[in-house]
Amino acid sequence: MGENAPEEQVLVDYPDSKSPSLYLKNPTQEEKVATWSINAANWGKALSEPDYLEREAYLTTVPLAKDNGVTHWILVDRNLPPNERSILASCESLRKPVLVSHNGVVTEGITHGIGSVFSQPKFRGKGYATRMLRELAPILKTWQTDPNIPGRETCPFSILYSDIGTKYYSKFGWEVHPSTHVALPPSSSPSSSSAKTLSYTDLPPLCALDEQTLRTQLSQTSDNKTHVALLPSYEQMQWHHKREDFVTSKIFSKSPTIKGAICDSPGSRVWAIWTRAYYGPLKPESGNTLHILRLVLEDERDTQENVESLKAVLQIAQREAEEWKVSEVDVWNPSQVVRSLVRKTGLEHEEVERKEESIASLMWYGEGKGTADEIRWVANEKFGWC
C-alpha cells in the first residue's frame, strides 16, 4: 500500500442504551478485576496498578464488606457470554446499618452506599451509566433486605457521594443534601496536654457509646420531619482504617497507629476519629487529606471548655497531617456550634461549601421526594462515604 494511503477506518457498532438486550448483572471475578484495571487510572493514582488491584480485592474481605456486604454491578449485553462481553458501565454498593426516626419512633434498617460509578472513555456519552443507575435504583430498595433478620427488614433509602456536581445524580432521584466542611492546614505546633491520642483498641467502646447516644438523640425528635442516620459503628470506621493501612503500607512501608484523639473531661468529652486518604502522589495538588470520620461533643454547647478541648483534638489531627504528608484536615458538615467553636480556637481554617466533589446525595424510598427540606440527615460525616 502506498505511503500516503488513508488509514483503514474501523467502525464500531455500540448497542443502544435503551436496548432490551442490556441488563444489570453481578460480574464474574475476572470481570471485577477488569473493572478495577479500567478505573485504576482515575482512582488509583497514589498506587501502582498492581497495588491498586490488590487493594480493591483486599477491601472486599474487610468486616463491613465481606459476606456480601459489598455488591458489584455491571451493565452488559445479555446475548454475550461472561468474560467476553463489554462492560459498558460499572459500580458497587456497600451495605450499611441505618436508623430512621419520625416523631421519636426509631426503626432500624440498611442502606446501600453506591460508589465507583464508572464507564470507560470509549463508552461515555452513550447513556450507559444512566441506564445502569436507572435500573439499580429500584433494585436497591429491596436488595439484601430480609424480614427474618433484625435490622435488615427494610432499606429506607440509598446514598451516594457525587464527584460530578449536584445535577447529574439528582435527575435520577438522589437528592442533594448539605455538603460542607471546615478545612485546616497541617501544622507541627504542639497540642495541649489535655488531649490524648486514640489507637485501634480505644475505638470499639467509643463507637458503641456513640451509637447509643445517637439512638437516644433520634428518639427525642418531635419536629414532624424524618430524621435518618448511618450508624457510626466500629465496622464503619474500620473500613476506612483498613483502606488507610493498606495504602500507607505501600507508600511509606508502615501504617499509622494514631486513629484519632480525645479530650477526656468527665461528662463533656470531645473526640475525633480520622483517616488519611491518598488520591495521588505526595504533592499538594493531589488533594491528599486527613478526614475526620466522626467528631463527637458529648455536651454540644458553645462553651470555653469545648473550645479548648476541640482545639487540642484538632491540633493533634494537624500534627498527624503534617507527619503523614497530607494537604489538609477536613471536618464534614459541622454544626453551627462546632463552626463557632472552631472560630474561637484561633486555628487557621476555611469554611467550604462543596459544589463539585463528595456531594452527599440520598434517594428516599418512602413517601415524598427525600429532599433536605423533608429529610434531616443526622451525623452526615465522612464515615458514611464509600
CA of 254: how far to CAs of 244, 318, 381, in Å? Answer: 11, 19, 27
Fold match flag (22-176 vs 180-353): yes
Domain residue spans of the chain: 22-176, 180-353
Measured CA to CA, the distance from residue 289 to residue 278 in angstroms comes to: 7
Q: Nearest Cα to 121, choosing from 164, 77, 88?
A: 88
CATH number of 22-176: 3.40.630.30
How is residue 113 annotated by DSSP? E
| Helices 234-252, 49-59: crossing angle, 10 deg rounding | 160
Residue at grid coordinates 471548655: 305
Per-residue pLDDT of the chain (386 residues; tens, 9 = 90+): 333 434 444 446 799 999 999 999 999 999 999 999 999 999 999 999 999 999 999 999 999 999 999 999 999 999 999 999 999 999 999 999 999 999 999 999 999 999 999 999 999 999 999 999 999 999 999 999 999 999 999 999 999 999 999 999 999 999 999 999 999 999 998 877 889 999 999 999 999 999 999 999 999 998 989 999 999 999 999 999 999 999 999 999 999 999 999 998 877 999 999 999 999 999 999 999 999 999 999 999 999 999 999 999 999 999 999 999 999 999 999 999 999 999 999 999 999 999 999 999 999 999 888 999 999 999 999 999 99
Torsion, Cα of 217, 219, 223, 224 (10° steps): 140
At 12 the pLDDT is 60
Residue 89 sits at the vertex; the CA angle it makes with 85 and 91, to the nearest 5 degrees, is 120
In order, the DSSP letters of 332-350 are ES--HHHHHHHHHHT---E
d(CA 282, CA 293): 21
Give the architecture (CATH level 2) of 180-353: 3-Layer(aba) Sandwich (3.40)
Q: Which residues 6+ apart lie within 8 Å of 287 measured at CB?
A: 279, 280, 327
Q: Is 291 helix (H, G, I), strand (E, B) or coil?
A: strand
Question: Rounded to an integer, what distance in angstroms lies between the CA atom of residue 255 and that of residue 267?
Answer: 32
Matching residue, cell 476541640:
310
Chain position carrying cell 498506587: 47
pLDDT number for residue 265: 80
Closest of 55, 18, 49 to residue 244, by C-alpha: 55
Sheet holding 260-263, edge to edge: 195-198, 260-263, 270-277, 289-297, 328-332, 180-184, 350-353
Give the CA angle between residues 48, 52, 55 to the nearest 5°: 140
Q: Measured between alpha carbons, how far is 99 from 184 in angstroms, rounded to an integer?
A: 31
